[in-house]
Structure 1
Amino acid sequence: FKITKSEQDTPCLSIKPTGKDFYKVLGVLPESNEDEIKKAYRKMALKFHPDKNSDPDAEEKFKEIAEAYEILTDPQKRSIYDQFGEEGEQISHAQHLHSDNSNLSGNMFFAGLRKGARHLSGEAVVHDLPVTLDEVMHGCTKQMKITRSRLNPDGRSLRTEEKVLNVVVKKGWKAGTRITFPREGDETLNSPPADITFILRDQDHPEYKRDGSNIVYTAQITLKEALCGCTVNVPTLDNRMMPLPCSDIIKPGEVRRLRGEGLPLPKSPSQRGDLVVEFQVLFPDRIPPQSREIIKHSLGQC
């Protein structure tokens, strides 16, 4: 599927959250990860499901639990809630509805996500989300257009509809990171809407390989440069050229590090990994006889 134009994350002011404490509703800590939140949700939902709990407040409690789950398992909604509280999340939701119903942007391209989807344990529809190193470097928002089935008001038939999901990719997120949109997938006559999960996948880069928060660049040098020294110009992610002087002998496979020139650390985006330079020494196919004698003489003591 195609991916829309990426947008840089927009910085937000920090404001004390107001309204419901969704973390307290699920009985989890604010630093809890997605798996811990899902586990707590299942436990609470089972406890307060109206079919299993005759308490008159059970249905209202169950709705509150579902609302907390929807917010806290959506990275974008959770980020807004953590900064602005329930009121800020509601405003954001209204803005997204308005945006989805407007003419979004002439520069954006959408594609349906039915093809290539995978189901996980019958619960979530899973899509790979390819990201470039540049998108991981700066963070981005990808707008994904999905086609899904929804139950009609009569409760006996289904309709097909389209929706745009804003998938927020934070700086430094690693391949395999999962972004889940609860109940945004297909609905059937016999089951509630499925979750939709996007899994980040690194796209190949022409110059670098990714190693966690580090990026690896292979520099090719000649045998003469390896033995006699050289300066290698190393390209960085932000299109600079950094000179790397090498005065010592460089052995094949040797590495040098440019500190802080890699990708942002996922949990501390103000810090960055390294740009690791791996050297590949290019040996000549042949050496002229005269040069061979000179080299044998010069290397006699090595």
Structure 2
Amino acid sequence: MGNDYYETLELNRHATDAEIKKAYRRLALKFHPSSSREPGHTERFTQLGEAYEVLSDPQKKAIYDKFGEEGLKGGIPPEYGGSEAWSSKYEYHGNPDKTFRQFFGGDNPFADFFTNDAPLQFGGLQQVMVKTQDSHIERDLYLSLDDLFHGCTKKIKISRRVMNEDGCTSSIKDKILTIDVEPGWREGTRIVFSKEGDQGPNSIPADIVFIVRQKAHPLFIRQQNDLVYKVQISLEMALTGFSVDVETLDGRLLTIPINDIVHPAYKKEVIGEGMPLSQDPSRKGNLIITFDVQFPEKLSAERRQLIKQALNFKI
């Protein structure tokens, strides 16, 4: 009767193309001479190569399904529309390693295989195959200071290449990644989505890494866990006192009295009114108020005299 290619691949005659590929992948790895030295495995590996080459080719498969191995290799009988013999008789090239390489890709297909938690089993020999991971992909995640103060949820759509069920072809699909931003996250915080990059038959998908980038705020400058608020004041205010109103990021209005002399290096620190601490959002950094003293551009002689008297300077 000749070879039964379906039986060789342990399939029934209604097997789909995806099932044929899956069966060859499993059996070729199991019976490859590099992974097993048991008697008969080399011959079985050759039979697998021939069976896959025929059943994976639609034209060869159609002829085999109708006329069997004899019709495939000897030609279609004249009564079925052929000439004396089919002009394209099939003959396996006899090199199963060539079929194996064409299926898996590369001169050393075993170098591309891996398992997540355990080595692959090839016949009776246990062998670990290492698959390299693609370099990680970095993307910036721009967040406002309000987002980083309160925390928020960001949903980001990515498009990536995923492998189809046949294990050989791929397609582009969208996926939504959800990032739960925690209060107090800083610039440079990295959020890693493991193996969410493009999939490929011979590599581990890359990690996608989002890096927090903080947008500028119109009123506050962030320094670690502290918030800096700058106020312009007159020289009179710097010398005589005043109060500063600051609206916080959570909507409260703080009125802060300044009773000290505001000198060039002076800062007013308000404890616990800065950014939440990421490790403990119930605690906060400080609010630091700095001052830009506006000096008068000109003074008359009379005013100069009055200022000197007021400051008790000797002429």
Tell me whether 1:291 sits opposite 2:303 in the alignment. yes
> Which residue does 2:167 correspond to in 1?
155
Identical aligned residues as a percent:
39
Q: Quick one: which amino acid aligns to residue 264 of structure 1?
A: P
Name the structure 1 match of 2:179.
167
Contact 1:123 1:195 in 2 (8 A): yes
The answer to whether 1:184 aligns with 2:196 is yes
TM-score, scaled to structure 1: 0.59
- Structure 2: segments with no counterpart, 5+ residues: 1-113
Identify the residue that residue 209 of structure 1 maps to in structure 2: 221
Residue 165 of structure 1: CA displacement? 0.4
Q: In the alignment, residue 164 of structure 1 is paired with which amino acid? A: I
| 1:237 pairs with 2:306 | no
1:75 aligned partner: none
Aligned to 2:273: 261
Q: Give the CA deviation at 1:288.
A: 2.7
**Matched-pair contact (CA < 8 Å) for 1:47–1:53:** no
Q: Which of 197, 200, 208 lines up with 2:209 in the alignment?
A: 197
Residue in 1 aligned with 2:119? 50
Q: CA deviation at 1:275?
A: 1.0
Match of 2:28? none
SS of 1:175 mapped into structure 2: coil
Max Rg structure: 2
**CA offsets per residue over residues 14-63 of structure 1, 9 Å max, x none?**
xxxxxxxxxxxxxxxxxxxxxxxxxxxxxxx999541599999999xxxx
Deviation at 1:129, TM superposition (A): 0.6
CA distance in 2, matches of 1:189, 1:202: 38
Task: Report the residue type matching 2:270 in the other structure.
Answer: L
Q: Distance in 2 between matches of 1:189 and 1:237?
A: 49
Within 1, Cα distance between the matches of 2:144 and 2:214?
A: 6
TM-score with structure 2 setting the length: 0.57
Query: Which secondary structure state, in structure 1, belongs to the residue aligned with residue 159 of structure 2?
Result: strand
What is the CA deviation profile of residues 118-175 of structure 1, one whole-angstrom value per residue up to 9, with x for unaligned ones? xxx9431111111111111111110001011112223332211101100111111111
Indicate the residue corresponding to 1:97 in structure 2.
none
Alignment partner of 1:270 is 2:282 = yes
Aligned residue for 1:227, secondary structure, equals: helix
Q: Distance in 2 between matches of 1:144 and 1:202?
A: 17
What's the offset of the Cα at 1:270? Answer: 0.8
CA shift, 1:179, in A, is 0.7
Residue type of the partner of 2:185? W
Most deviating of 211-220 and 290-299: 290-299
Distance 2:300 2:184 in 1: 50
Question: Partner of 2:274: helix, strand, or coil?
Answer: coil
Unaligned runs of 5+ in 1: 1-44, 60-120
RMSD of Structure 2 on Structure 1 (CA): 2.9
1:223–1:281 contact (8 Å) kept in structure 2 = yes
Which has the bigger relative contact order, CA under 8 A and spacing at least 6?
A: 1
* Alpha-carbon separation, structure 1, partners of 2:229 and 2:136: 37
Query: 1:84: which partner in 2?
Result: none
Partner residue in 2 for 1:82 = none
Conservation of the 8 A alpha-carbon contact between 1:150 and 1:160 = yes
What are the within-5 Å matches in structure 2 for residues 88-127 of structure 1? 122-127=134-139
